[in-house]
Amino acid sequence: MSDEELERRQSLSFLEAEGLKPLPQLQTGTAITPRFRALAYNKLIEAVGYRASGVGGMYPTQRSKDLWTLYFERFEDELPRSHSKFADIVKAHIKDDAKLYDILQFCARVRLIDSQQYSTISKAMRGELLGFRFVGSYHDTPTLMPVSDEAEANANQADYAEMQKFPAAAEHFRQSIEHIRQGHFRGSVTESISGVESVVKSLTNEKSATLGAGLKLLSKQSDLHPALKSGLEKIYGWTNSPNGMRHALSDDATPVSEAEARYMLSACLAFAAWLKRSSAD
């Protein structure tokens, strides 16, 4: 086994390394992953749960009381005496995905979670590829905003399925997703572009083939919708112009946003899938 193959496998689960696990899902709407729900619950209880008393037992903190009265809108004398009952109420509430987002935003805004807990939750949202992100700093007005939609996620999954014939390209796109998870958006864009180029190399048998070569294949299709062709040409121009993405990737001072990384992932997946289908015609 080569060192390159070992390095590739070290960043993947066994199923992912063997190509038996699908492209990690870009969550849409209010959908929550089980892992994020568990982490969010743990952080909420860490923040607002009861505390151990010096004489044994647990007592509600001011944050527990604030959540009970301000969020759940219940009288303080109805606050459960038992920590476990209080925790069960919180756990039952966040089984609903939208309510979990709601309680997290509320707790961030009224400072029932601290800045470190806020940072951990925000990082986990990105790591789990959820459809919402916190916008604004902890000390501002933290607000959850959508970052994707269902159509985008479904299209990505369908296009990725087309890549099974091109394992090298599939791996580039998988790594693009992983970079988004880790917040390495520049790396994600690089992998997305490399995914398209890998397909082009396979189809042209040219080891040095680039995204531009793919556009030459594209131009031969007379029945291609002009808007699609124009859009792909703009992507190519954007990535290769003096101020384009490839030049930005070589400039550490130039930021690449998550929105740009997601756009390039979707665009490159669509282009690669189209090239594959066209080659079969």
Residue type, 58: M
Residue 175 in tokens: 């790594």
Give pLDDT, residue 196: 86
The pLDDT tens digits of the residues spanning 50-64 come to: 998 777 788 999 999
Reply yes or no on whether the pLDDT at 214 is more than 60: yes
Threshold 0.75, pTM exceeds: no
Share of the chain above pLDDT 70, in %: 73
Q: Which is higher by pLDDT, 202 or 219?
A: 202
Q: Which is higher by pLDDT, 14 or 134?
A: 134
Give pLDDT, residue 183: 84
Residue type, 163: M
Cβ atoms 133, 144 nearer than 8 A: yes
- DSSP letter (8 states) at residue 244: S
Residue 249 in tokens: 């990737």
For the ranges 39-48, 185-194, 203-212, 242-251, the one whose mean pLDDT is highest:
39-48
Please, which pLDDT band fits residue 239 given cuts at 50, 70 and 90? Answer: low
Quickly tell me which residue has 């038992």 as its tokens: 82
Please, which pLDDT band fits residue 101 given cuts at 50, 70 and 90? Answer: very high
The pLDDT tens digits of the residues spanning 62-74 come to: 999 999 999 999 9
Judged by DSSP in three states, 133 sits in: strand
Judged by DSSP in three states, 259 sits in: helix
Q: Which is higher by pLDDT, 182 or 253?
A: 182
- Compute the CA torsion angle 19, 36, 188, 142 (nearest 10 deg): 170
Angle, vertex CA 54, rays to CA 52 and CA 59, nearest 5: 40
Give the H or E element holding residue 196. helix 185-204
Within a 10 A sphere around the Cβ of 235, how many other Cβ atoms? 22
Query: Mean pLDDT for the chain?
Result: 82
Residue 192 in tokens: 């997305």
What residues pair up with 133 in beta bridges, in sequence order?
Answer: 145
Angle, vertex CA 177, rays to CA 108 and CA 224, nearest 5: 120
Judged by DSSP in three states, 208 sits in: coil
Residue 240 in tokens: 């290769």
Reply yes or no on whether the pLDDT at 12 is more than 80: no
Angle, vertex CA 147, rays to CA 37 and CA 271, nearest 5: 120
Residue 272 in tokens: 């690669």
User: What integer is the mean pLDDT of 164-190?
Assistant: 86
